């Protein structure tokens, strides 16, 4: 998915479906750099509650400005909000 998102302008990544504490280091690295404008938060409720996902997301090594993009700014830009 990382390679597809890197090479296709119209492909974005929803980071829901697993807890951020299980993100592989490569995903964290790419989300922090090359793909910071193409990653989004998505809820997987009720399987993984938004509260739990966000708590785990705060614990990973992600730049604060990238966290803001993933949680809000990227969706605003993509959907023109």
Our count of domains for the chain comes to: 1
The predicted pLDDT at position 45 comes to 80
b/e burial code for range 39-52 (CB count within 10 A of at least 16 → b): bbbeebeeebeeee
Token pair belonging to 65: 């400005």
Q: What is the mean pLDDT of residues 1-8?
A: 95
Summarised one tens digit per residue, pLDDT across range 10-51 is 999 999 888 999 999 999 999 999 999 999 998 778 888 888
Distance CA 28, CA 45 (A): 22
**Mapping DSSP to helix (H, G, I), strand (E, B) and coil, where does residue 13 land?**
strand
The predicted pLDDT at position 17 comes to 84
The predicted pLDDT at position 57 comes to 95
- Domain residues for the domain of 38 are 2-79
Q: Which band of pLDDT confidence, cut at 50, 70 and 90, is reported for residue 68? A: very high
Distance CA 3, CA 16 (A): 18
The residue whose two tokens read 């793909």 is 35
Q: What is the pTM of this model?
A: 0.89
């Amino acid at each position: 998915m990382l390679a597809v998102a890197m090479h296709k302008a119209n492909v974005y990544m929803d980071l829901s479906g697993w807890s951020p504490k299980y993100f592989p280091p490569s995903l964290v690295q790419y989300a922090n750099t090359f793909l910071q404008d193409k990653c989004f938060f998505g809820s997987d409720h009720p399987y993984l509650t938004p509260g739990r996902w966000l708590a785990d997301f705060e614990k990973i090594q992600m730049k604060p400005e990238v966290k803001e993009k993933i949680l809000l700014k990227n969706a605003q830009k993509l959907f023109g909000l």
